[in-house]
Amino acid sequence: MSKSLRNKILITFGFLFVYRILAYVPVPGVNADVIRDFFTTNSDNAFGMFNMFSGKAAERLSIISLGIMPYITASIIMELLAATFPKLGQLKKERDGMQKYMQIIRYATVLITVVQAIGVSIGLKHMGSEAVLIDQNLFIAISCVSMLTGTMLLMWIGEQITQKGIGNGISLIIFAGIVSGLPSAIVGAVNLVNTGEMNFLVLILIVLIVLLTIGFVIFVELGERRIPISYSRKVMMQNQHKRIMNYIPVKVNLSGVIPAIFASAILMFPLTMFQASSNPIMLKINDFFSPNGYMFQILMFLCVVFFAYFYATIAFNSKDISENLKKQGGFIPGVRPGENTATFLNDVAGRLTFWGAIYLGLISTLPWLLVKFLGVPFAFGGTSVLIVVSVALDTMRKIEAQIYMNKFQTLSAVGL
């Protein structure tokens, strides 16, 4: 391993260590025991999902309890706006425009964080008088400043990891938050076996399910359709000393983990509002669509499939690909350049998205259903497995790319 790669890995671990330390810095003026009891009681709804993505910082009401989700929300909103308004999309493609684009995302992150921080501060008032230990108005101001500072620190840490470390900083922060809960889950499972509440064979079966799910995710995430590309002789002669990719890779899962996150948020937040209501009808609706019930899993599957198609149309722009291919003097054998190429790419992406959407839906629901049949008192979420495996694969690819780059630089330095 080269010195530069080792330094990048150490920088990445250093920033992630700082992130985990921030998770234990609480907002001043709160009763940590009341907050912890609240999240323990609401571990199977939107608050539980929110707590998982924040690396359990929410149950401590840390300064980073909002996590990196405001930044992700702002990025997703900007992606949707860029796909809707051509001028904003063009701004993203330009070098100077990209800086303005990222600056808009940062301002939007500040706005979203302030709104969410005020909402959380006001919501603590409904937990009882023991949740907040200082004056309510003073607490809203302090918590707003604290959470905004924490989110800005996380955003800065993510950007520093991306620039100076290895991998995507924002994805690695989410990865670290989810993985941080694994030790406690393992200890809890061992305690259940020791106390006789869970059979040892059931635990072995759960481990096998987890391993099979991870293997299936890796298999599909690495799957892609390679569309062959041919170039004119003139282009090949001009680039004879450069490598020209002779295929277009189209992944089976074009939308990544975004559909699962969207579906979870849309389904869980209304149910959390129903749970807070005292209306008997609302409570019955909440019980019928409980995350521990089958109806919720069916809706989860349908929503994931819908968002997979929706986000794939944004992530894969066949028109831009066909235009760039035409400018470079390339073409797909048997397909005319221009509009016909865009139509062909759309058809290929549509067929792959169908199987990718089914895959995402199964990953989001099947692990829970399997564990449900085993009668296990804790949930095994496919969404968290999907995020962890996807981020790990992406980071491994970037480490391999860095290793190959260092090898080429060494060969070039010695004149080979």
pLDDT in tens, 211-236: 888 888 888 888 888 888 887 655 55
162 contacts 152 by C-beta, under 8 angstroms: no
The domain spans of the chain are: 1-165, 199-233+243-415
CA distances from 292 to 39, 142, 210, 307, 387 (A): 16, 36, 19, 22, 21
Tell me how far apart the 2 most distant CA atoms of the chain are, in Å: 79
> pLDDT per residue over 202-216, tens digit each?
778 878 877 888 888
What is the token pair recorded at 281? 């009808």
What mean pLDDT do residues 70-75 have? Answer: 82
Spatial distance between the Cα atoms of 382 and 362, rounded to a whole number of angstroms: 8
Percent of the chain whose predicted confidence (pLDDT) is above 70: 80
Span 379-384, average pLDDT: 64
Q: What is the pLDDT of residue 287?
A: 67
For the cut 80, the answer to whether the pLDDT of residue 104 exceeds it is: yes
Identify the CATH assignment for 199-233+243-415 out of 3.30.830.10, 1.10.3370.10, 1.10.630.10, 3.40.1670.10: 1.10.3370.10
CB 390 within 8 A of CB 175: no
CA R_g for the chain: 24
pLDDT band at 414 (very low <50, low <70, confident <90, very high): very low
Output the pLDDT for position 273: 58
Question: What is residue 233's predicted lDDT score, i.e. its pLDDT?
Answer: 58
pLDDT confidence bin for 157, thresholds 50/70/90:
very high
User: Which spans in 124-181 are helix H?
Assistant: 136-164, 169-179
For the segment 24-36, the average pLDDT, to the nearest whole number, is 83
The predicted model gives 412-416 an average pLDDT of 49
pTM equals: 0.76
Contact, 260 vs 302, CB < 8 A?
Answer: no
Q: Using alpha carbons, select from 214, 216, 307 the residue that is nearest to residue 257.
A: 307
Q: 224 - beta bridge partners?
A: 251
Find where tokens 């003026």 sit. 29
Query: Across all residues in the chain, what is the average pLDDT?
Result: 78
Q: Write the CB contacts of 5 (distance below 8 Å, at least 6 apart in sequence).
A: 166, 399, 402, 403, 406
pLDDT at 281: 73
Supply the DSSP symbol for 252. S
Residue with tokens 């983990």: 257
DSSP 132: B
Beta-bridge partners for 249: 226
| 278 confidence band (pLDDT: 50, 70, 90) | low
Same fold, 1-165 and 199-233+243-415: yes
Q: Given the structure tokens 């499939």, which residue do they identify?
A: 305
Interior CA angle at 97 toward 95 and 98, to 5°?
Answer: 70
The CATH class of the 1-165 domain is mainly alpha
What residues contact residue 397 under an 8 Å CB cut-off, 6+ apart? Answer: none
Amino acid, single-letter form, for residue 313: T
Q: Which residue has the higher pLDDT, 34 or 106?
A: 106
Q: 307: pLDDT confidence band, cut at 50, 70 and 90?
A: confident
Pairing of strands 247-251, 230-231: unpaired
Beta-bridged to residue 226, according to DSSP, are 249
The percentage of residues in the chain with a pLDDT greater than 90, rounded to a whole number, is: 4
